[in-house]
């Protein structure tokens, strides 16, 4: 709780200037089981970046060089569809094929780009979709051009959720996997997405830069950015925490401040600010027929620059071989975790992330491990989450952690874990989120 309040106080500091200006204007994630890495190998991929075909600065060869340097085995290029042509798409397919070999995969994808307002998430990244263009390719019509999305100045998501759903339907018609990126707002179940980004490095960097321009410290700016990024993970958890701002006699909340300063109706009835756990529970209770898995992406645009962010946010993926078919099979199965640094392993009664454990005897066995993956870092915290609630927290303060937990089980639900590490050399915290393991008790 203290950490969350410290982050929210950073919000208070950063928003104070805007709020005062606004007020002045008004007045003038038993025995240890066999870990999955013994039957699977762990690889890393970054699935969100851009080349010179849209708004990136680099080509596929430059992306590959950076990716390999940062320990990735695969990348998925997601150039903006609206800037693609048939020739550009063909060249992306050819370039990614040429960059792929037995030890590295470069795969073509695209991003459907809406005209969203601040804090909306009106984009869809398409992985493994065969064609970005709707109808006759001669017309080069993108999904966002066929089914437009109006600009929305509020923080309530797209004004045309039915069109977002059509984007996803089209991606599915092309054999694709649809991920909603930019974790700053609303994900509606009716979109039908397969995944969401819980962390977007480009977004974090942009928000940090904005906060620093207002004169706030690197630490405050980073905390501000991470808390905004956590909207997709935790929904309204943090924005309804009480805040005390200078110049106000009564406590307020971040939600109210955002409404007063920026006119953002976060969590409005027509577009509730769902957390990832809300979305997972919708699968558990049968509201939807498939779970929504989580990912991290760099969303890098400086792909040709020395300070490229490719691989700064990535996904650990458990695969049996490094092939395109196996990578996409593992992604679709949820056999992955999102991370900015730490690695993790999670099983429930021997089942892997994305799978369902059939529990008998009333007790589930969770085996988990975490590694800070840096010589100067320690695993600071491990949260075990069940049906959206933290049921156990561990503070190892060591480079790695392994544990076995027995938990009473009734009904159905899921487990996931979150890892926080702290790196003394950078003075920063890094995070990892497992995808869920579902359970059904008998």
DSSP codes joined into one string, 232-254: HHHTTTTTTSEE--TT-SS-EEH
**CB-count exposure of residue 141 (10 Å: 0-12, 13-18, 19+):** middle
- What averages of pLDDT result for each successive group of 10 residues across the chain (442 residues)? 47 47 36 56 98 98 98 98 98 98 98 81 95 97 95 81 96 98 88 97 92 83 86 86 66 76 74 91 97 98 97 98 98 98 97 97 96 97 98 98 97 98 96 98 90
Q: Please report, for the domain that includes residue 353, its CATH number.
A: 2.60.40.740
Q: Which helix (H) or strand (E) holds 195?
A: strand 195-200
**Within its chain, how far is the Cα of 352 from the centroid?**
20
14 and 152 belong to one structural domain: yes
- Pick the last residue of a domain from 340, 375, 392: 340
324 and 383 belong to one structural domain: no
- Pick the last residue of a domain from 319, 340, 361: 340
Task: Tell me whether residue 239 is in a domain.
Answer: yes
Task: Tell me whether residue 187 is in a domain.
Answer: yes
Please say whether the beta carbons of 72 and 44 come within 8 A. Answer: yes
Tell me the per-residue pLDDT of 379-430, one tens digit each, with 9 for 90 and over. 999 999 999 999 999 999 999 999 999 999 999 999 999 999 999 999 999 9
Q: So what's the pLDDT on residue 223?
A: 84
Q: So what's the pLDDT on residue 247?
A: 58
Please say whether the beta carbons of 374 and 400 come within 8 A. Answer: no
* Domain ranges, residue 72: 1-28+51-340
Task: Tell me whether residue 220 is in a domain.
Answer: yes
Give the residue from 171, 148, 170 showing the smallest Cα distance to 159: 148
354 and 419 belong to one structural domain: yes
Q: Helix, strand, or coil here: 265?
A: coil
- Per-residue DSSP letters for 5-36? HHHHHHHHHHHHHHHHHHHHHHH----PPPPG
354 and 287 belong to one structural domain: no
239 and 202 belong to one structural domain: yes
Quick one: DSSP state of residue 291? P
Q: So what's the pLDDT on residue 248?
A: 62
Task: Tell me whether residue 43 is in a domain.
Answer: no
Task: Tell me whether residue 158 is in a domain.
Answer: yes
Task: Tell me whether residue 36 is in a domain.
Answer: no
Q: So what's the pLDDT on residue 54?
A: 97
Q: Please report, for the domain that includes residue 130, its CATH number.
A: 3.20.20.140
316 and 423 belong to one structural domain: no
213 and 78 belong to one structural domain: yes
Q: How many domains in the chain? A: 2
331 and 410 belong to one structural domain: no
297 and 365 belong to one structural domain: no
328 and 369 belong to one structural domain: no
| Residues in a beta bridge with 106 | 75
370 and 228 belong to one structural domain: no
108 and 20 belong to one structural domain: yes
Task: Tell me whether residue 33 is in a domain.
Answer: no
Task: Tell me whether residue 40 is in a domain.
Answer: no
- Pick the last residue of a domain from 308, 325, 340: 340
């Amino acid at each position: 709780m203290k950490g969350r309040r410290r982050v929210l106080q950073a919000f208070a500091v950063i928003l104070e200037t805007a709020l005062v200006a606004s007020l002045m204007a008004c007045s003038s994630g038993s025995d240890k089981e066999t870990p999955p890495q013994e039957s699977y190998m762990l690889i890393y991929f970054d699935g969100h970046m851009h080349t010179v075909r849209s708004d990136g600065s680099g080509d596929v060869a430059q992306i590959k060089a950076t990716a390999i340097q940062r320990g990735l085995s695969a990348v998925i290029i997601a150039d903006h569809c609206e800037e693609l042509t048939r020739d550009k798409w063909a060249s992306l397919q050819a370039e990614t094929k040429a960059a792929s070999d037995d030890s590295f995969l470069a795969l073509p994808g695209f991003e459907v780009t809406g005209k969203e307002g601040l804090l909306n998430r009106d984009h869809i990244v398409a992985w493994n979709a065969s064609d970005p263009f709707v109808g006759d390719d001669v017309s080069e019509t993108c999904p966002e051009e066929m089914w437009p999305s109006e600009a929305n100045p509020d923080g309530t998501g797209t004004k045309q959720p039915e069109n977002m759903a059509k984007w996803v339907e089209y991606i599915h018609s092309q054999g694709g996997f649809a991920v909603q990126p930019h974790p700053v707002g609303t994900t509606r179940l009716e979109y039908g997405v397969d995944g969401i980004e819980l962390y977007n490095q480009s977004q974090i960097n942009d928000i940090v830069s904005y906060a620093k321009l207002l004169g706030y410290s690197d630490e405050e700016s980073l905390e501000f950015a991470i808390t905004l990024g956590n909207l997709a993970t935790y929904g309204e958890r943090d924005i309804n925490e009480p805040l005390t701002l200078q110049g106000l006699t009564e406590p307020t909340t971040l939600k109210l401040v955002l409404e007063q300063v920026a006119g953002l109706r976060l969590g409005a009835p027509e577009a509730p600010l769902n957390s990832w756990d809300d979305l997972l529970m919708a699968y558990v209770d049968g509201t939807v027929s498939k779970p929504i898995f989580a990912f991290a992406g760099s969303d890098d645009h400086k792909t040709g620059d020395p300070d490229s962010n490719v691989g700064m946010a990535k996904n650990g993926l458990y695969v049996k071989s490094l092939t395109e078919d196996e990578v996409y099979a593992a992604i679709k199965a949820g056999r992955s975790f999102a991370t900015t640094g730490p690695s993790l392993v999670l099983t429930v009664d021997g089942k892997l992330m994305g799978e369902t454990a059939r529990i008998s005897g009333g007790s589930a066995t969770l085996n988990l491990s975490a590694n800070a993956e840096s010589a100067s870092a320690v695993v600071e915290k491990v949260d075990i989450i069940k049906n959206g609630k933290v049921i156990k927290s561990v503070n190892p303060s060591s480079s790695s952690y392994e544990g076995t937990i027995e938990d009473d089980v009734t009904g159905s639900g899921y487990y996931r874990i979150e890892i926080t590490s702290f790196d003394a050399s950078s003075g920063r915290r890094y995070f990892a989120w497992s995808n869920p393991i579902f359970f059904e008790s008998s």
